A = this chain, B = another copy of it.
């Protein structure tokens, strides 16, 4: 048992893997924050989608008027979906990249730029900032993921 644990600890003790663990966790926590922001806007704007969520506002027509879409809620939801579409590839490709033996400094550069770009993307989407702020932050994170995918395929390719 303790021998196995030591092996696992070696993985988490590797600096590249620790950097991956840190930035993957940060970016996932950021994505999870979108749920709270959605809930905040649903409640402050009184814009719900499930009838059972409006039951506390009374019965019948008085509650039904809160079953509606709100531009702020929809905006946060689009940001959340964009996170899913871009953070899922980072999680998978980033893990394989971390195991492909990159230089620590190169790996840190990839993880930091990706994380920074996705945080910038969220601000650009929610404020919202004028374009090309959102498009650019999206493209930077996308390019970082492609760069890691290239390294993974160069190291591991086995078709």
**Chain A residues in contact with chain B, CB under 8 A?**
1, 4-5, 7-19, 21-22, 24-25, 28-29, 31-32, 34-35, 49-50, 52-53, 55-56, 75, 78, 80-81, 84-89, 91-93, 95-96, 99-101, 128-131, 134, 142, 145-146, 149, 152-153, 155-159
| 24 residue pairs from A and B, CB less than 8 Å apart | A7-B10, A7-B11, A8-B11, A8-B16, A8-B17, A8-B101, A12-B101, A12-B156, A18-B156, A19-B158, A21-B152, A22-B158, A24-B92, A25-B153, A29-B149, A31-B89, A32-B85, A35-B85, A50-B75, A50-B128, A84-B84, A84-B88, A91-B92, A95-B95
Max chain B C-beta neighbours (<10 A), residue from A84, A96, A142: A96
Top-6 shortest CB links A-B: A18-B158, A21-B156, A18-B156, A28-B89, A21-B96, A19-B158
A123 nearest CB across to chain B (Å): 13
Interchain CA distance A146-B10 in the complex, whole Å: 24
For A149, give its contact among B10, B25, B89 (CB under 8 Å).
B25
A42 nearest CB across to chain B (Å): 11
Give the secondary structure class of A's interface. helix
For A14, give its contact among B4, B78, B88 (CB under 8 Å).
B4
Max chain B C-beta neighbours (<10 A), residue from A16, A28, A93, A142: A28
Query: Which residues of chain B are within 8 angstroms of A9 by Cβ–Cβ distance?
Result: 101
A26 nearest CB across to chain B (Å): 8
A29-B149, A149-B29 are contacts. A52–B131 as well, Cβ < 8 Å? yes
